[in-house]
Each structure stands twice: as structure tokens, then as C-alpha cells.
Amino acid sequence: MDMLSAYREVGSYRGAAVMCGTTAKTVRRVVARHNAGGVVVPRRARERNYASVAELVAERVAATKARIWAKRLLPAARIAGYEGSARNFRRLVAAAKAEWDAVPRRYSKNFQSST
């Protein structure tokens, strides 16, 4: 729901924030900007600095069944052209691992050890 509509309906910043899933301070800022005649300029979507290596990371995560560390992947990403920070790269790898883990997989229950 739109913050302004929620504020008009409920009449309080806190109530509108609960309806919109944000904080009361954010609702207050939006309402104040609207009352001052401010126009909201839509933000331009930026390309992330790791977009060029996201496919490489996804492939490596899948190949290792999400067991690889970002520390081990970073040199390969640097060679592929990644110039961002190690912290940002760790976020990318964590997101790729979470995405890989979210897919349900079936494993054989008939696994027999050769010992």
C-alpha cells in the first residue's frame, strides 16, 4: 500500500508504517515531503559491481554443492574482472549459496558404504 494512502486511512505515522512494512520515521518523511509539494524522483536502477561475475559464482557454488568459500572464489573472480571489495563479494557468494540451498534436492537413501 502507498504510504500516503495508508497515512490518510489510519491517521497515524505508526499505524501507516505497520501497514506498509516500514518505520514511522520514513512515513513521516514521505508525508512531510508530500505536504511541502515535493515530487518523488524515481531512482535509477544501478548495476551491481559484481554483475559480471555472478554467473561464475553461481556455477562454482553449484559445482561444489555450496561448500566453497568466498575467500577461495575471489582470485578467480578477480581474473574474470571483478574489481569490488571482498566484503561485497562475500555477500554475493552468500546470496548464491542461499539460492542454491533453497532448491529442494533428493538424495538416495540406499547409499551403501564400501567399508
Domain spans, the chain:
3-35, 51-102
Q: Worst-scoring range by mean pLDDT, 26-30, 38-42, 45-49, 91-95?
A: 38-42
SS (H, E, C) 61-113: HHHCCCCCCHHHHHHHHHHHCCCCCHHHHHHHHHHHHHHHHHCCCCCCCCCCC
Whether residue 7 has pLDDT greater than 60: yes
Whether residue 48 has pLDDT greater than 60: yes
pLDDT class for 58, splitting at 50, 70, 90? very high
pLDDT at position 108 is: 64
What percent of the chain lies above the pLDDT cut of 70?
A: 90
Considering only CA atoms, which of 4, 10, 6 is closest in space to residue 30? 4
Q: Is the pTM of this model over 0.75?
A: no
Whether residue 71 has pLDDT greater than 90: yes
Alpha-carbon span 14 to 22, nearest angstrom: 9
Q: Residue 12 carries which DSSP code?
A: S
CA 39 to chain centre: 27
pLDDT at position 111 is: 59
Q: At what angle do helices 86-102 and 70-80 cross, to 10 degrees?
A: 110
Mean pLDDT of 14-28: 94
